[in-house]
Amino acid sequence: MDPRAYTIKQISVFSENKPGRLMAIAGALEEESINILAFSIAEANGFGVVRALVDKPDAAFKKLNAMGFMVSFTDVIAVKMRDVPGGLFEMAKLLADAGINIEYSYAYSGRDAAVLILRVDQVESAVKAIIFRGGNLLKSEDFQEKP
């Protein structure tokens, strides 16, 4: 098993916290026909970081960067959860048992399962621990184009 198959490129965009910024980002992605699978906004005083899983991360990076946005890639993992009461509990317990610390996380309800997106400090050992405990991870190729 190659843990790298399970690391997924998330784009992170720095944005000032003011009207129109998310519109500009989303509009740019639409222009490039880039599909957003999941996203979240983390906010602090005056600024935020928009994090998104998209189907064409490289194209998204290029476009936003050219528009003057500060963009970076972050490796995250995406864990499938059962979309039933207790689904998140099972997954949180699995991560806790594996001793994986979550730096941040967001979730979306996918076609066949709920998906929890995790930013952890040690991606590869997290992947191994989750799979070892019977967890189900999405692969980048499941929804992202190859660069």
Partner 1 sequence: MIAWDPNMEMMPEEGLKKLQFKLLKTLVYRLYSFSNFYHERMDAHGVHPDDIASLGDLGKLPFMYKTDLRDSYPDKIFTAEQEELVRYHVSSGTTGKPTVVGYTKHDLDMWTESLARALTSCGLGRGDVIQVSYGYGLFTGGLGLHYGAERIGASVVPTSVGNTERQIELMQDLRVTGICCTPSYLMHIGEAAKKMGVSIRDDTHLRTAILGAEPWSEQMRMRIEEEMGIKAYNIYGTSELSGPMFSECTEQNGIHMWSDICLVEILDPETDEPVAPGEQGEMVVTILQKEALPIIRYRTGDITSIDTTTCACGRTHPRIARLSGRVDDMLIIRGINVFPSQIEHALLGIPAVSGHFMIEVDRVGALDTMLVRVELNPEAFSDKINDLMAIRSMVAHTLKNALNVSVDVEIAEPGSLPRFEGKAKRVIDRREY
* Tokens, residue 57: 């991360």
* Tokens, residue 2: 């190659």
Of 74, 78, 104, the C-alpha closest to 91 is 78
Provide the terminal-to-terminal Cα distance of the chain, rounded to the nearest Å. Answer: 21
Beta strands in 55-101 (DSSP E): 71-81
- Selected binder of partner 1 within 70, 82, 99, 122 (CB under 8 A): 70
Of 144, 134, 123, the C-alpha closest to 2 is 123
- Selected binder of partner 1 within 30, 103, 141, 145 (CB under 8 A): 103
Nearer to partner 1, 65 or 125 (CB): 65
Per-residue contact string for residues 114-133; x = within reach of partner 1 by CB under 8 A: -----x--------------
**Binding of partner 1 at residue 15 (CB under 8 A)?**
yes
Least Å from the CB of residue 19 to partner 1: 14
Only segment of 38-46, 85-93, 110-118, 138-146 that touches partner 1 (CB under 8 A): 38-46
List C-alpha distances in Å: 139 to 8, 99, 135: 7, 22, 13
- Selected binder of partner 1 within 26, 28, 36, 49 (CB under 8 A): 49
Hey, what's the torsion of the CAs at 95, 122, 47, 92, to 10 degrees? 0
Least Å from the CB of residue 118 to partner 1: 13
- Contacts with partner 1 by CB under 8 A lie at 10, 12, 14-16, 42-47, 49, 51, 68-70, 72, 74, 103-104, 119
